[in-house]
């Protein structure tokens, strides 16, 4: 049971890319070299193709914010899905159930910078609000997206 709770929390934090994001205003000072405000309507974010890493990230944030976890499963890399199989998660429904069992809820995503990763990957750095057990706190994250079969996929999430 403890392992499942630990995995659930890790997944909530590792895989949390969603909408309802706080935009970074133009001209706003910040410690990063580039910033991307991601404040899109959920409908716009959902309809964008995953042809760019930022479009994928927007979709992921949108689903996370709306707690539509089953839809996130299709945005995960093969490596991430293989990892989830260790916890008996093999489809959208099981993934949704696992994520819903977590107390952690992510919101207010902002991306402060991005960098090219190894091979066909992009790394995004930013902050999000995570609420757990009634407490909210701003948390830094690092999201790694990879290109797989000509589509961008979520491969790793660190906080």
pLDDT digits (tens, 9 = 90+) for 49-102: 457 899 999 999 999 999 999 999 999 999 999 999 999 999 999 999 999 998
Backbone angles phi, psi at 45, to 5 degrees: -65, -40
Q: What is the mean pLDDT of the chain?
A: 75
Q: Is the dihedral of CA 41, 42, 45, 48 positive or negative?
A: negative
Query: Exposed (0-12), middle (13-18) or buried (19+): which is 145, by Cβ within 10 Å?
Result: buried
Into which CATH architecture does domain 2-24+35-158 fall?
A: Roll (3.10)
Spatial contact of 102 and 12, defined as CB atoms under 8 Å apart = yes
pLDDT of residue 72: 96
pLDDT of residue 154: 95
Note if the pTM is more than 0.85: no
pLDDT of residue 50: 57
Alpha helices (H) along 21-140 = 42-47, 53-65, 69-72, 78-85, 92-100
Ordered by start, the domain boundaries in the chain are: 2-24+35-158
* pLDDT over 80 (residue 36): no
């Amino acid at each position: 049971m403890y392992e499942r709770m630990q995995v659930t929390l890790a997944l909530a934090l590792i895989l949390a890319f969603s909408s309802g994001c706080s935009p970074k205003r133009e001209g706003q000072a910040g410690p990063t070299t580039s910033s991307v405000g991601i404040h899109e309507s959920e409908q716009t974010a959902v309809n964008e193709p995953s042809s760019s890493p930022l479009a994928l990230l927007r979709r992921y944030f949108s689903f996370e914010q709306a707690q539509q976890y089953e839809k996130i499963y299709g945005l995960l890399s093969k490596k991430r899905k293989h990892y989830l199989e260790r916890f008996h998660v093999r489809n959208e429904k099981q993934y949704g159930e696992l994520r819903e069992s977590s107390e952690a809820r992510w919101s207010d995503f902002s991306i402060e910078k991005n960098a090219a990763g190894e091979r066909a990957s992009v790394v995004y750095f930013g902050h999000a609000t995570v609420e757990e057990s009634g407490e909210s706190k701003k948390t830094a994250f690092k999201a790694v997206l990879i290109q797989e079969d000509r589509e961008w996929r979520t491969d790793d999430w660190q906080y």
